[in-house]
Chain A
Amino acid sequence: MNFLGIGTLSWITFLPILGMIAVLLLPKENRNAIRWTALAITFLQLVAAAFIFFNFNRGLAGINTVEGMQFVEKVSWINIKGVPWFGKIYVEYFLGVDGLSVPMVLLTALISFVAVIASWNIEKAFKGYMVMLLLLDTGMMGVFVSLDFFLFYVFWEVMLLPMYFLIGIWGGPRREYAAIKFFLYTLLGSVLMLLAIIALYFSVTIPDPTTGEKIYTFNMLAMMNPANFEPGSLLAGTSTYWRYLAYIALFIGFAIKVPVFPFHTWLPDAHVEAPTAISVILAGVLLKMGTYGLLRIGYPMFPDAANHYSWALAVLAFINIVYGALCAMAQKDFKKLIAYSSVSHMGVVLLGMSAMNTQGMLGAVFQMFNHGTITAMLFLIVGVIYDRAHTRDLDAFGGLAITMPKYTGIMTVAFFAALGLPGLSGFISEAFSFLGAFQTHRYITIASTLGIVLTAAYMLWTLQRVFLGQPNEKWAGLPDINGRELAALVPLAIITLWLGVYPSTMLDIMTTSVNHLVEFVKQGGAAVAMLPK
């Protein structure tokens, strides 16, 4: 799996950095060279992701064993001896993928590629923009492939910076407010996550690979093994106060990214101000990091707390679903409406996760992927109309179905996918999430089905206001969607349709890992309980 002596996962992660350097070397007047370089790089990344997808062994589970991880790269990275208090600091460059991360890797590559197409005609500081976009790409990809907590955190923070500038420089009128809000909010999450990381670091020891003495580690897989927790350390034992506290800190850190009510208000602002491609990335990939983090880190490291708080997660999921849908309904700004719909749809992921069983978790992971593609389409669609009319006021349009028929066609696919129409991918992940959650949290799930009606209501109402009715004289000359915009939208639409009819293409990647995770979380709590307090 090596190419030029470097592993596939390193390639897929650092390709954008190569692209970034190439773009930096290009003269800023040569927009074509810049955009084609970026496109080529993201395309190569997509090819690499497809390579991983097709060469992935669907029988291996991963999650907590390095043997089950695939495309593994593991080398010593930081190795400092004799640090006061710490003793030896040992950090590994540890990459690997399993059934949870492969869909996310594929999604990241796909969305980055689409984002470059959507950024084709950025006016302001084009070169800087592409540099930031590619840096962001590396950060995102890194989060999904790293298995060392230190490395994970580094990528997590790397992603923050370009995002801040992309919103703050290339955004709309209130971009500075939105960027700072996004940054501070996410940073708050990072700090909480850091607390948990440090607490974990000083609780988990493994034998040094060379000398065999006990050393602290950032290895995520080691942190999942209850036997590695030093007796008497802060997070040793099971169902302790400190473990719950650490889980909550980790949860809030991830919840801000998802975003879970009440930490969601950065999202509408960031989305409304961000340029189209950045909204696409934000909703398509960044939100998934929260739920991915919970599944990759929160659940297997704290199975006791995850089980203990699963009802709370279900309640939060319910709030996200219904509250998000109602807030979406009241919006007058097209983009803000889609942003709130993300809050609602990510609630479905949370609901599936709270199920603690195969259908629910499978639904959740699949919903992460599907929400990525569907919401990306929705934001692209808003972008198309905003580019032409320079307004996003829902009441300013009407009758676009007549003036822009092709645009309306692709919009119909995206809207119906978002409202969970069978035959399109969103339905399957939603239905599985609900089916799973019902077995665990009966009444909360029944209550959450209300979201299905509300989503249909606000989606169709939006569709009616913007696309149906008599054509508005003011927009009579609006040109229909062009080839470049279609090139960004059509692949996503095809994926949505394909996965709606034959979801096994993606589900087969996940099932083994998800089943293992479910089993692990179920048993993990028990295994931890057997250890002396």
Chain B
Amino acid sequence: MSPETIIQLSVVILLLPLLGFTLLIFFNKRLPRQGDWLETGILFLALALSLVVFAVKMVSYRHETFQATFTWVNFGNVPGFGPMKLELGIMVDNLVAIMLVVVNVVSALVHLFSIGYMHGDVRYGRYFAYLGIFTFSMLGIVITNNFWMMYVFWELVGLSSYLLIGHWFEKKSASDAAKKAFVVNRVGDIGMFTGIMILFATFHTFTFSTIFESMQSGNIPLGSEAWLTAAGILIFCGAIGKSAQFPLHVWLPDAMEGPTPVSALIHAATMVAAGVYLIARAFPMMTADALMFIAYIGAITAFISATIAIAQNDIKKVLAYSTVSQLGYMVMGLGVGAYTAGFFHLVTHAMFKAGLFLGSGSVIHAMHHALHHAGDHHTDPQDIRNMGGLRSKMPITFWTFLIYTLAISGIPFTSGFLSKDEILAGTLAFGSLTGHKIIPIIGFFVAGLTAFYMFRLVIVVFFGEHNDHHRIEAVRESPKTMTIPLMVFAALSFFAFYSPNPFGAASGWFFDAIHRPESVVPLAVAAVGIETFEEALHHSHSLAMILSLTVAGLGILIAFTTYYWKKISADAVADKLKPLHTFFLNKWYFDEFYEWMFVGGTKGLARAYAWFDNRIIDGIVNGVGSWTKAITLGTRQNWEEGSIASIFYLGITGVISLYVGWIAGAAMMPFGASLGTMVGYGMLGLAVAGLTFFLFYVGVGGFDNSIVDGLVNATAYLAGFLGLLTRRVQTGKVQTYLAFVILGVMVFFLWFR
């Protein structure tokens, strides 16, 4: 197969789900079964094609990168630059080939699962349409060769995430969560966009390879290394949002308001991993400082969310925080320089975490039906405290769930063991090379926590006896469309798919295909080189394996002692550590803090500005209007109104009158006048002031009415015209006024000419 065919196939893979979306969004009501078969069929076709691309890429072109570009916008002959074009395009390298398969596998299986899970939903057809546009956008992120399209599809997955979280928008909590997801992501996105602006200002292109080549030849953004680091960190901000890293992790747990298959697809396996993918793509331009920042953010995220996960009782919330924690792991892995391991964890995690969510979906589905059957509408079907003993009722769900749990806990013979172990070895190497030992410490601690809370979940949900038999009597295993995806994901959680050696991934195809790219930043600010890192990694491997197995075993042991054998009372521990437990249960109060600080703050600011706009800015505008009126009608009326403004106005007119009088008196007074003359001119000044104030008092219009009317007719006519002019200002006939202004202005300019 030629490279052109690979590119063409990739484009077809990209566009297939879009086709599905377009058909379903307009015609879902007219298609049989609302078109679920169409969209699912399309996805399986895309999966088959992506497997072909993957196989050909791996077998025939393992070390090549294919790109295809086209001119999207032609800026023409840009002043000070020359001809400039905006090229967009796609690329296929190993990263892309793998991601295409990952996205399509998860998406196709989630489609299949949804047929059972969403059966009878009010917006069944639209749901599948949204899945289609999501898959399209996600594939777009994967396949692009430039930052512009990355950002475009980045926002589009945000849109599909918004639509799917809000699928049941009748619920306030769902529409709130959708809005929160979009807005929080946007915060990260403006960081990413700023990073892109920095790059564009220097390189005038968005293409990864062109930017990196230019950087390698010594061009750095805005000519400073600080901006280079800033660009790296800002690009990473996009990942902070999308991959739910601290401090923007708050949207992901709420996103569980969406249908559970959506959580599996978007909020566990693919979209949230896009951030990790972005870091992998931008990796060559990351300076040591930027990578350090990334590593710390990842570690902090992994730690915070693991502590929250142990205290949650909602099955999806536990899994959500576990996802955040694992994403932190991947980000940390990339940050410390374990590029391949970080990306490998993305792939393995996608499989078992999608499985975990679908498994939880299967449980919730069964619980929901059983509760419905029992006529119980008050019990929460997602609360693990209402479950227990589901093992015998749902054997397939149980066994597959157990396999995923083993994988996420990092037990040998699973894929999770391979990838997690590599990341942990990477953190150890990083710790020994840079002295930042806290990173590996957090890494291992979180590994233990993960094993603990995941086994807690398995034990509480599936083992033991249920306290109310009647309630779960009707729990049944889910239909085939749901259990088949579970089994496929379980199979994909075994080591054999990734490496022949269950205790090391290094000999597998994955590590052969994916290599950490060379850094393109100046040596002075670059992270430790690949050779040095590999060397350190080599030394830390066995230690990492022993330690990770120990902490995982310990975590599982504590989980069993507490929840299975009940040697330790969880409640008693929680009671003893009450403040800490409450703190974890309430998710470190992030939501409350953000609600108060940012949501409340912004709304408060908005109200303040609206008030300012209405009262101050518009007040001045209206004030000018009424003061103009006052000049024509006189202050007499304002005085009668008795408002503060009118008294103020009267005061000002008083001051102005005095000033006018003073000017008049002083101007007319001859130089070196005697005291008597001075007094005389002073009197004259006072008279002028009095007259001015009187004019203000009666107004120009009043002057016209009361004084001038009494004078000779000719004068009266002229003044009447003035009065007409001024009074008519309020009636809209301003053209006359305008004519006078024009005349006046013309005279003025002729004078100055």
Give the segment of B379-387, B396-404, B734-742 that binds chain A: B734-742
Give the segment of B45-53, B102-110, B578-586, B598-606 that binds chain A: B598-606
**Residue-wise interface mask of A (152-164) relative to B, using a CB-CB cutoff of 8 A (1 in contact, 0 not):** 0000000000001
Give the segment of A71-79, A281-289, A303-311, A326-334 that binds chain B: A326-334
In this complex, how many residues of chain A approach chain B with their Cβ under 8 Å: the count is 75
Give the segment of A112-120, A372-380, A446-454 that binds chain B: A446-454
A184: which B residues are within 8 A, CB to CB? 625, 734
Chain B contacts with A in 710-739, Cβ cutoff 8 A = 730, 732, 734, 738
With A234-B753, A434-B193 in contact, is A198–B746 under 8 Å at CB?
yes
- Complex Cα spacing A453 to B21, Å: 27
- Give the residue name and chain of the A residue nearest to B222 (CB): A442
**B155 at interface by CB-CB < 8 Å:** yes
Chain B contacts with A in 457-493, Cβ cutoff 8 A = none
**A386 at interface by CB-CB < 8 Å:** no
* Pick from B186, B617, B745: contact of A452, CB under 8 Å: B186
A469: which B residues are within 8 A, CB to CB? 169-170, 172, 175
**B84 at interface by CB-CB < 8 Å:** yes
A503: which B residues are within 8 A, CB to CB? 73
With A454-B602, A468-B175 in contact, is A265–B617 under 8 Å at CB?
yes
- Give the residue name and chain of the A residue nearest to B190 (CB): A449
- Give the residue name and chain of the B residue nearest to A176 (CB): B732
B76: which A residues are within 8 A, CB to CB? 358, 511-512, 515
B152: which A residues are within 8 A, CB to CB? 422-423, 427
**B671 at interface by CB-CB < 8 Å:** no
CB–CB B609/A330 < 8 A? yes
**Residue-wise interface mask of A (173-216) relative to B, using a CB-CB cutoff of 8 A (1 in contact, 0 not):** 00000011101110100110011001100100000000000000
- Give the residue name and chain of the A residue nearest to B185 (CB): A456
**A522 at interface by CB-CB < 8 Å:** yes
Minimum CB–CB distance from A149 to chain B (whole Å) comes to: 14
Interface centre among B76, B189, B738, B742 (most CB of A within 10 A): B76
* Pick from A202, A399, A438: contact of B749, CB under 8 Å: A202
- Complex Cα spacing A457 to B190, Å: 13
Chain B contacts with A in 186-202, Cβ cutoff 8 A = 186-187, 189-190, 193-194, 197-198, 200-201
B746: which A residues are within 8 A, CB to CB? 198
A265: which B residues are within 8 A, CB to CB? 613, 617-618, 621
**B656 at interface by CB-CB < 8 Å:** no
CB–CB A180/B732 < 8 A? yes
CB–CB B201/A439 < 8 A? yes
CB–CB A358/B169 < 8 A? no
- Complex Cα spacing A519 to B753, Å: 31
CB–CB A422/B156 < 8 A? yes
CB–CB A323/B618 < 8 A? no
Minimum CB–CB distance from B183 to chain A (whole Å) comes to: 5
CB–CB B186/A470 < 8 A? no
**Residue-wise interface mask of B (615-658) relative to A, using a CB-CB cutoff of 8 A (1 in contact, 0 not):** 00110110001000000000000000000000000000000000
**Residue-wise interface mask of A (471-515) relative to B, using a CB-CB cutoff of 8 A (1 in contact, 0 not):** 100000000000000000000000000000001100110011001
CB–CB B190/A234 < 8 A? no
- Complex Cα spacing A416 to B732, Å: 40
A42: which B residues are within 8 A, CB to CB? none
* Pick from B78, B80, B734, B745: contact of A195, CB under 8 Å: B745
- Give the residue name and chain of the B residue nearest to A201 (CB): B749
- Give the residue name and chain of the A residue nearest to B191 (CB): A449
CB–CB A468/B166 < 8 A? yes
**B607 at interface by CB-CB < 8 Å:** yes
- Complex Cα spacing A50 to B418, Å: 62
CB–CB A457/B621 < 8 A? no
Minimum CB–CB distance from B629 to chain A (whole Å) comes to: 11
With A198-B746, A326-B605, A449-B190 in contact, is A401–B169 under 8 Å at CB?
yes
CB–CB B179/A461 < 8 A? yes
- Complex Cα spacing A313 to B153, Å: 32
**B79 at interface by CB-CB < 8 Å:** yes
Minimum CB–CB distance from A262 to chain B (whole Å) comes to: 5
A512: which B residues are within 8 A, CB to CB? 76
- Complex Cα spacing A467 to B48, Å: 39
CB–CB B170/A470 < 8 A? yes
B613: which A residues are within 8 A, CB to CB? 265, 323, 327
With A329-B603, A504-B73, A515-B76 in contact, is A452–B193 under 8 Å at CB?
yes
B198: which A residues are within 8 A, CB to CB? 438
- Complex Cα spacing A507 to B84, Å: 13
CB–CB A468/B78 < 8 A? no
B606: which A residues are within 8 A, CB to CB? 326-327, 329-330, 458
- Complex Cα spacing A280 to B66, Å: 48
**A342 at interface by CB-CB < 8 Å:** no
CB–CB A456/B78 < 8 A? no
With A198-B746, A422-B152, A422-B155 in contact, is A449–B78 under 8 Å at CB?
no
With A330-B607, A504-B73 in contact, is A187–B734 under 8 Å at CB?
yes
CB–CB B175/A326 < 8 A? no
- Give the residue name and chain of the A residue nearest to B133 (CB): A423
**Residue-wise interface mask of B (171-182) relative to A, using a CB-CB cutoff of 8 A (1 in contact, 0 not):** 010011011001
* Pick from A195, A431, A449, A508: contact of B74, CB under 8 Å: A508
Chain A contacts with B in 342-387, Cβ cutoff 8 A = 357-359, 362
B734: which A residues are within 8 A, CB to CB? 183-184, 187
CB–CB A519/B79 < 8 A? yes
* Pick from B75, B194, B741: contact of A191, CB under 8 Å: B741
**Residue-wise interface mask of B (432-462) relative to A, using a CB-CB cutoff of 8 A (1 in contact, 0 not):** 0000000000000000000000000000000
- Complex Cα spacing A511 to B85, Å: 11
Minimum CB–CB distance from B264 to chain A (whole Å) comes to: 24
* Pick from A191, A327, A438, A507: contact of B738, CB under 8 Å: A191
Chain B contacts with A in 131-187, Cβ cutoff 8 A = 151-153, 155-156, 159, 162, 166, 169-170, 172, 175-176, 178-179, 182-183, 186-187
- Complex Cα spacing A183 to B742, Å: 17
- Complex Cα spacing A427 to B148, Å: 12
**A252 at interface by CB-CB < 8 Å:** no
With A330-B610, A435-B197 in contact, is A457–B602 under 8 Å at CB?
yes
- Give the residue name and chain of the B residue nearest to A234 (CB): B752
**A221 at interface by CB-CB < 8 Å:** no
CB–CB B197/A438 < 8 A? yes
- Give the residue name and chain of the B residue nearest to A450 (CB): B190
- Complex Cα spacing A261 to B613, Å: 10
B752: which A residues are within 8 A, CB to CB? 234
Minimum CB–CB distance from B669 to chain A (whole Å) comes to: 33
CB–CB B75/A511 < 8 A? yes
Chain B contacts with A in 339-353, Cβ cutoff 8 A = none
- Complex Cα spacing A218 to B328, Å: 66
**B546 at interface by CB-CB < 8 Å:** no
- Complex Cα spacing A470 to B618, Å: 37
B190: which A residues are within 8 A, CB to CB? 449-450, 452-453
**A410 at interface by CB-CB < 8 Å:** no
- Give the residue name and chain of the A residue nearest to B611 (CB): A330
CB–CB A515/B183 < 8 A? no
Minimum CB–CB distance from A268 to chain B (whole Å) comes to: 8
A470: which B residues are within 8 A, CB to CB? 170
Minimum CB–CB distance from B341 to chain A (whole Å) comes to: 32
A461: which B residues are within 8 A, CB to CB? 179
**Can you add 16 more A-B contacts, CB < 8 Å, to A362-B75, A456-B186, A504-B73?**
A180-B732, A194-B741, A198-B742, A202-B750, A234-B749, A234-B752, A265-B613, A327-B613, A358-B81, A421-B159, A422-B153, A434-B197, A438-B201, A452-B186, A468-B175, A515-B79
List 7 A-B pairs, minimum CB-CB distance, nearest first.
A330-B610, A422-B152, A329-B606, A511-B76, A330-B606, A519-B79, A468-B175
* Chain A interfacial positions (CB closer than 8 Å to B): 85, 164, 168, 179-181, 183-185, 187, 190-191, 194-195, 198-199, 202, 233-234, 261-262, 264-266, 323, 326-327, 329-331, 357-359, 362, 399, 401-402, 416, 421-423, 427, 431, 434-435, 438-439, 445-446, 449-450, 452-454, 456-458, 460-461, 464, 467-471, 503-504, 507-508, 511-512, 515, 518-519, 522
